[in-house]
């Protein structure tokens, strides 16, 4: 999963004598876009959510290098108990029932549970576990270990007993939820608080070995 915007507005020089000015043609074009969005609730929702979560000059997340593996994530989660939203990131979630309106012209896939927005980038959500993770990140700015255990996507033991809720046929759903978490952690959108040294986990071991 890659967090990339589906659309953007460009102010590149298009041959105008005064490219920094917004002329009547541009306003007419925008009026047409807004009118179309008004009739298409799904596209309007994607535009609005992307606009509301666009970064506002805050510190940008730092990409994690090297990328964290699921085994490393599970080890840290077992000790820290939660992963938190980076303070400079902006997120939001729109549930599927909010996407549907009687007057809307958009046909929304019944499998869509909602739209998750991260720093201006929208992603459709179809999996129940990803739906719950996205809601937690949007509403609490964190994901707790207890939620991963409840959803059955954690390898972390509970009182020495591995916690597994989903049967083998749900492994694809488990993979989707893990992929979301790793994507956000490796993009710097989610992070673990505290010092890695406290738990004997060194995420920069390769770098230290080169010195």
Residue 208 is assigned to a structural domain of this protein:
no
Residue 71 is assigned to a structural domain of this protein:
yes
Per-residue exposure over 42-72, b if at least 16 CB sit within 10 Å of its own CB, e if not: bbbbbbbbbeebeeeeeeebeeeeeebeeee
Higher pLDDT, 172 or 131: 131
Site of tokens 């964290």: 68
pLDDT value for 159: 37
Write the CATH number for 132: 3.40.366.30
> Is the pLDDT confidence value at 49 over 60?
yes
Residue 186 is assigned to a structural domain of this protein:
yes
Q: Containing domain of residue 88, as a range?
A: 24-197
| E strand segments, the chain | 82-85, 91-95, 114-118, 121-125, 142-144, 157-158, 161-162, 190-191
Q: How many domains does the chain have?
A: 1
Residue 129 is assigned to a structural domain of this protein:
yes
Residue 89 is assigned to a structural domain of this protein:
yes
> Is the pLDDT confidence value at 83 over 80?
yes
Q: What is the DSSP letter of 196?
A: G
Residue 76 is assigned to a structural domain of this protein:
yes
- Whether the full predicted model's pTM is greater than 0.75, yes or no, is no
- Read off the pLDDT of residues 118-169 as tens digits, 9 standing for 90 and up: 999 999 999 999 999 999 999 999 999 999 999 888 765 433 333 333 333 4
Higher pLDDT, 118 or 194: 118
Query: What mean pLDDT comes out for the span 170-180?
Result: 78
End-to-end CA distance of the chain: 33
Residue 204 is assigned to a structural domain of this protein:
no
Residue 109 is assigned to a structural domain of this protein:
yes
pLDDT value for 6: 44
């Amino acid at each position: 999963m890659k967090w990339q915007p589906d659309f953007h507005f460009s102010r590149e020089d298009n041959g105008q004598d005064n490219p920094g000015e917004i002329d009547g043609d541009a306003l007419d074009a925008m009026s047409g876009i807004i009118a179309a969005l008004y009739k298409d609730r799904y596209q309007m929702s994607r535009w609005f959510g992307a606009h509301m979560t666009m970064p506002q000059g805050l510190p940008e997340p730092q990409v994690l290098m090297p990328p964290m593996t699921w085994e490393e994530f599970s080890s840290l989660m077992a000790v820290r108990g939660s992963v938190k939203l980076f303070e400079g990131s902006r997120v939001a979630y729109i549930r599927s029932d909010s996407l549907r309106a009687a007057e809307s012209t958009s046909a929304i896939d019944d499998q869509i549970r909602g739209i998750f927005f991260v720093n201006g980038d929208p992603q459709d959500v179809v999996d129940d576990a990803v739906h719950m993770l996205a809601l937690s990140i949007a509403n609490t700015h964190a994901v707790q270990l207890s939620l991963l255990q409840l959803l059955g996507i954690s390898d972390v033991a509970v009182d020495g007993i591995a916690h597994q809720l989903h049967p083998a046929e749900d492994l694809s759903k488990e993979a989707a939820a893990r992929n979301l978490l790793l994507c956000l952690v490796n993009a710097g959108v989610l992070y673990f608080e505290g010092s890695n040294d406290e738990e004997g986990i060194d995420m920069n071991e390769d770098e230290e070995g080169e010195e």
